């Protein structure tokens, strides 16, 4: 078994740290060979680093892959559309997005190239890649405030993946659910709360069925969908259901952070706790809301030096929720935590 195959096997088994080490070996083995082979290994390595919570290192590996393909004339103004280049741009753009740089044009370029490749040769693989680029482009558009583009890209991704899942549910249902969750977020930000609730509810139903059937790889997307659903349903309002889903999201993110080295899923855990805190505050349970937002702030502060800039910035959000809820609970704030959060914000990776 080659180092690249071993790395992919480790990643499938959930050993992301082991996969990162194996991809480093695989990249060394591939240097001097076909640049497309090395670029492919670098993309897999970058994607795994980003999933582990280190998007800055992921962006460095993906940037190397993009430059290799650019040198091979596979990326550029006159380049013929090809899925390898689209994937490299996608992985780089996604790492940059998670690292706090949402303004680059990589994801738009990836979506354009993937669309041209899928139009020229509409294979299952090319259409799946198009859906993935559209999914990430939708997330970027949400962050940049282009909600019409966010909804449009998410809707197209759902449509493509729904067609793929109809023919091969075992391979594409999880991806369909991811797109539904993303669409729900875009619809919610656009003010269409009822449509958003329907989208995230379908996503949760699909993912829970997959996870209950033994598909452990569904857990990160399930946790994300549950937390998103909690936030949306809390505004319907359906607080009982929102609290139940929010609690499940927190539990699932706790499982993920326990299984993987920090900072993997640390920020997602903190965000899920803040979402759940907001939901329980809707029932005037301010003491519980304060404890949840306190725990969110603590976990971020503990890992602040390893967080990408968006995670560091979220410390302020978690702390603000804690201060508001602890005041409503009648308890005294933990001033040591407030001071520690201030130091973390000043010293985190914001540069």
Residue 278 falls inside a structural domain: yes
Decide: helix, strand or coil at residue 171.
helix
pLDDT band at 351 (very low <50, low <70, confident <90, very high): very low
Stated pTM of the model: 0.93
Question: Which CA distances in Å does 261 have to 49, 200, 221, 266?
Answer: 11, 29, 18, 10
Q: Is residue 284 packed enough to be buried (19+ CB in 10 Å), middle (13-18) or exposed (0-12)?
A: exposed
Average pLDDT over residues 28-53: 94
Residue 321 falls inside a structural domain: yes
pLDDT band at 142 (very low <50, low <70, confident <90, very high): very high
User: Alpha-carbon torsion 247, 251, 252, 253, what sign?
Assistant: positive
- DSSP annotation string for 82-105: -HHHHHHHHHHHHHHHHTT-TT-S
Q: What is the pLDDT of residues 249-302, one digit of tens each?
A: 999 999 999 999 999 999 999 999 999 999 999 999 999 999 999 999 999 999
Residue 288 falls inside a structural domain: yes
Does residue 117 contact residue 157 with C-beta atoms inside 8 Å? no
Phi, psi of 55 (to 5 degrees): -70, -25
Does residue 178 contact residue 210 with C-beta atoms inside 8 Å? no
Q: What is the pLDDT of residue 348?
A: 61
Domain final position from 86, 113, 140: 113
Task: Identify the DSSP state of 351.
Answer: -
Phi, psi of 284 (to 5 degrees): 65, 25
Average pLDDT over residues 46-57: 96
Q: Is residue 227 packed enough to be buried (19+ CB in 10 Å), middle (13-18) or exposed (0-12)?
A: buried
Query: In the structure encoding, which two tokens stand for residue 43, read together?
Result: 């993309």
Residue 14 falls inside a structural domain: yes
CATH number for the domain including 74?
A: 1.25.40.10
CA-to-CA distance for 328 and 174, rounded, in angstroms?
40
- pLDDT exceeds 50 at position 12: yes
- Cβ atoms within 10 Å, residue 191: 9
Q: What is the number of alpha carbons within 13 Å of residue 311 lying toward its C-beta?
A: 30
Q: What is the pLDDT of residues 174-185, one digit of tens each?
A: 999 999 999 999
Tally of domains in the chain: 2
Q: What is the pLDDT of residue 349?
A: 53
What are the b/e assignments for 73-85, b being 16+ CB within 10 Å?
A: ebbeeeeebbbbb
Phi, psi of 95 (to 5 degrees): -65, -45
Q: What is the pLDDT of residue 350?
A: 44
C-alpha 291 chain-centroid distance: 26
Best CA proximity match to 87, nearest among 123, 113, 67, 50: 113
Domain final position from 57, 85, 113: 113
Residue 307 falls inside a structural domain: yes
Residue 250 falls inside a structural domain: no
Residue 227 falls inside a structural domain: no
Domain final position from 83, 113, 143: 113
Average pLDDT over residues 116-143: 96
The radius of gyration computed from the CA coordinates of the chain, to the nearest angstrom, equals 20
Q: What is the pLDDT of residue 81?
A: 82
Enclosing domain of residue 36 = 1-113
Across the chain, mean pLDDT equals 95
Average pLDDT over residues 101-124: 94
Q: What is the pLDDT of residue 309?
A: 93
Q: Is residue 1 packed enough to be buried (19+ CB in 10 Å), middle (13-18) or exposed (0-12)?
A: exposed
Q: What is the pLDDT of residues 207-228, one digit of tens each?
A: 999 999 999 999 999 999 999 9
Residue 61 falls inside a structural domain: yes
Best CA proximity match to 5, nearest among 17, 19, 47: 19
Q: What is the pLDDT of residue 121?
A: 94
- pLDDT exceeds 90 at position 86: yes
Q: What is the pLDDT of residue 347?
A: 82
């Amino acid at each position: 078994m080659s180092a690249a195959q071993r790395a992919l096997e480790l990643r499938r088994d959930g050993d992301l740290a082991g996969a990162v080490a194996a991809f480093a070996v695989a990249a060394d083995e591939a240097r001097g060979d076909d640049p497309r082979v090395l670029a492919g290994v670098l993309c897999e390595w970058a994607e795994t680093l980003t999933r582990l919570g280190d998007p800055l290192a992921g962006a460095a590996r993906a940037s190397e892959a993009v430059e290799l393909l650019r040198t091979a004339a596979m990326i550029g103004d006159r380049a013929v559309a090809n899925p390898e280049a689209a994937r490299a741009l996608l992985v780089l753009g996604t790492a940059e997005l998670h690292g706090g740089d949402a303004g680059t044009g990589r994801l738009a370029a990836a979506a354009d190239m993937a669309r041209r490749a899928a139009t020229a040769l509409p294979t299952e693989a090319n259409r799946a890649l198009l859906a993935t680029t559209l999914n990430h482009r939708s997330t970027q558009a949400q962050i940049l405030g282009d909600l019409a583009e966010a909804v449009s890209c998410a809707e197209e991704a759902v449509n493509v993946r729904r067609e793929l899942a109809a023919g091969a549910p075992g391979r594409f249902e999880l991806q369909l659910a991811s797109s539904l969750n993303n669409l729900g977020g875009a619809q919610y930000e656009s003010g269409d709360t009822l449509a958003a609730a329907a989208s995230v509810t379908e996503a949760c139903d699909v993912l829970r069925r997959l996870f209950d059937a033994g598909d452990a790889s569904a857990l990160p997307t399930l946790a994300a969908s549950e937390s998103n659903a909690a936030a949306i349903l809390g505004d319907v309002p359906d607080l009982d259901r929102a609290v139940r889903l929010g609690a499940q999201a927190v539990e699932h993110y706790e499982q993920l952070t326990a299984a993987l080295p920090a900072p993997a899923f640390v920020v997602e855990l903190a965000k899920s706790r803040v979402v759940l805190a907001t939901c329980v505050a809707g029932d005037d349970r301010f003491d519980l809301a304060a404890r949840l937002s306190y725990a969110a702030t603590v976990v971020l502060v503990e890992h602040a030096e390893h967080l990408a800039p968006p995670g560091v910035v979220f410390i302020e959000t978690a702390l603000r929720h804690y201060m508001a809820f602890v005041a409503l609970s009648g308890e005294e704030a933990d001033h040591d935590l407030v001071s520690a959060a201030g130091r973390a914000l000043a010293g985190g990776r914001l540069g």
